C-alpha cells in the first residue's frame, strides 16, 4: 500500500506557480491587472463550482453535450486535474464524509492534508472510474480528463499573447494560486469553522466568508444535507453567486431542470451545532433524536 505522503517531484509545477507570483513585484502595477486577476479567478471558480461540483459531481441540473464539454473545458483551466478525476473523488468524499475512508477530512487527517496534501499525493492520481460510470460514457469527457492540463496551458498562453507578462502573472499565476486555495478551503475549513443548521453524518458547516470567495460553496452544511440541489444557499440571505448565474443560463435555455432543496422535508433535520471536536460515525443519532437532545 502506498503511504499518504506528498510526491515532491510531481509537485514541482504546483510550487513553481506559487513561486512565480513573486514576479508581480517586478512588473509595473496597474489596477487593470487586478481587475483581470479577479475576473479570471471568478470565471474559473464558476467552472469549478457550477461545473466540476454541481453539474459533474452531483448532476444537479441538465444540459446538452456541447455546453457540457465547454463547461468541462472551463473547469479544466483551473488546473485542478481532470473533470472525471475531480468528480469521482468528490463522490467518494460524500460517501465517506469525515469517516476514516474520507481521503481529505480535516477531522481525520488535519488541516494541511485536507487542504492540499492529498492532492499532491500520487496515491490518489488515478480516476476512480467506478464512481463516475454515468460520465465515463462520453468519449469527449474521457479525452479532456486525460489531457486535463491542455485547457490551462492554452489559457495561460492566450493571456501571455494578449497582455504579456503582466497578464500572465496576474491573470493566470496569481489567480490560479488564489483559485486553488479558495477551492481547497471547502475541504479544509468548511468542516471546522461555521454554523450547522442540519443533522448530517459529518461535521459540515455553513460559512459566509467561504461562500463569498467560492461563489456559494461555503454553504457546506446545506449541501451535505441535500447534495442534489443546484442551489446551495437555501435562503435568500445566503449569497450563492454560482446559482444566480445558473438561473440566468436556465432562463436563456442553455441549461434546465435545476433541482431545488425540499425545505419542507429538510425542516425535520434542523438541530443545534455539533461540538467542534465531535467526530461523526455511522451510528450518529437520527434527526429526531438530535432535536430531542437540543
Supply the mean pLDDT for the chain: 91
What is the rounded average pLDDT of the residues 1-29? 90
- Examine residue 82 and state whether it is found in any structural domain, yes or no: yes
In a domain, 12, yes or no: no
Could you write out the DSSP letters of every residue in 98-161?
TSTT-TT-HHHH-HHIIIIITTT-GGG-S--GGG-HHHHT-HHHHHHHHTTHHHHHHHHHHHHH
- The answer to whether position 147 is within a domain reads yes
The percent of residues above 90 in pLDDT, for the chain, comes to 87
Is residue 9 situated within a structural domain? no
- pLDDT in the model for residue 285: 38
Q: Which pLDDT tens digit goes with each residue over 100-152?
A: 999 999 999 999 999 999 999 989 999 999 999 999 999 999 999 999 999 99
Which residues span the domain enclosing 222? 21-293
Enter the pTM of the model. 0.89
Task: Judge whether 37 lies within some domain.
Answer: yes
Residue 201 domain-assigned?
yes
Contact 205, 189 (CB under 8 A): no
Q: Domain for residue 239, yes or no? A: yes
Domain tally, the chain = 1
Does 16 fall in a domain? Answer: no
Gap between the Cα atoms of 164 and 32, Å rounded: 13
- Residue 257: pLDDT band by 50, 70, 90 thresholds? very high
Torsion of CA 190, 193, 199, 203, to 10 degrees: 60
Residue 284 has pLDDT above 60, yes or no: no
CA atoms within 13 A on the CB side of 25: 4
Cα distance from N-terminal residue to C-terminal residue, the chain: 43
pLDDT attached to residue 24: 96
Amino acid at each position: 500500500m502506498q503511504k499518504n505522503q506528498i510526491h515532491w517531484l510531481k509537485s514541482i509545477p504546483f510550487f513553481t506557480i506559487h513561486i512565480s507570483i513573486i514576479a508581480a513585484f517586478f512588473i509595473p502595477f496597474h489596477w487593470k491587472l487586478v481587475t483581470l486577476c479577479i475576473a479570471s479567478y471568478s470565471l474559473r471558480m464558476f467552472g469549478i463550482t457550477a461545473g466540476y461540483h454541481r453539474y459533474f459531481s452531483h448532476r444537479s441540473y441538465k444540459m446538452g453535450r456541447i455546453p457540457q464539454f465547454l463547461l468541462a473545458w472551463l473547469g479544466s483551466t483551473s488546473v485542478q486535474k481532470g473533470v472525471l478525476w475531480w468528480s469521482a473523488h468528490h463522490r467518494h468524499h460524500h460517501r465517506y464524509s469525515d469517516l476514516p475512508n474520507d481521503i481529505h477530512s480535516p477531522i481525520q487527517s488535519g488541516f494541511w492534508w485536507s487542504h492540499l496534501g492529498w492532492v499532491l499525493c500520487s496515491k490518489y492520481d488515478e480516476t476512480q472510474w467506478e464512481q463516475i460510470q454515468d460520465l465515463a460514457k462520453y468519449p469527449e469527457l474521457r479525452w479532456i480528463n486525460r489531457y486535463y492540463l491542455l485547457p490551462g496551458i492554452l489559457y495561460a498562453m492566450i493571456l501571455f499573447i494578449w497582455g504579456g507578462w503582466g497578464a500572465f502573472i496576474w491573470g493566470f499565476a496569481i489567480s490560479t494560486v488564489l483559485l486553488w486555495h479558495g477551492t481547497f478551503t471547502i475541504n479544509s475549513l468548511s468542516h471546522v469553522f461555521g454554523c450547522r443548521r442540519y443533522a448530517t453524518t459529518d461535521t459540515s458547516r455553513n460559512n459566509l466568508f467561504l461562500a463569498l470567495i467560492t461563489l456559494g460553496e461555503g454553504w457546506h452544511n446545506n449541501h451535505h444535507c441535500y447534495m442534489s440541489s443546484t442551489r446551495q444557499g437555501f435562503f435568500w440571505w445566503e449569497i450563492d453567486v454560482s446559482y444566480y448565474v445558473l438561473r440566468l443560463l436556465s432562463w436563456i435555455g442553455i441549461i434546465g431542470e435545476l433541482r431545488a432543496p425540499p425545505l419542507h422535508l429538510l425542516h425535520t433535520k434542523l438541530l443545534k451545532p455539533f461540538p467542534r471536536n465531535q467526530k461523526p460515525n455511522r451510528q450518529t443519532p437520527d434527526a429526531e433524536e438530535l432535536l430531542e437532545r437540543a
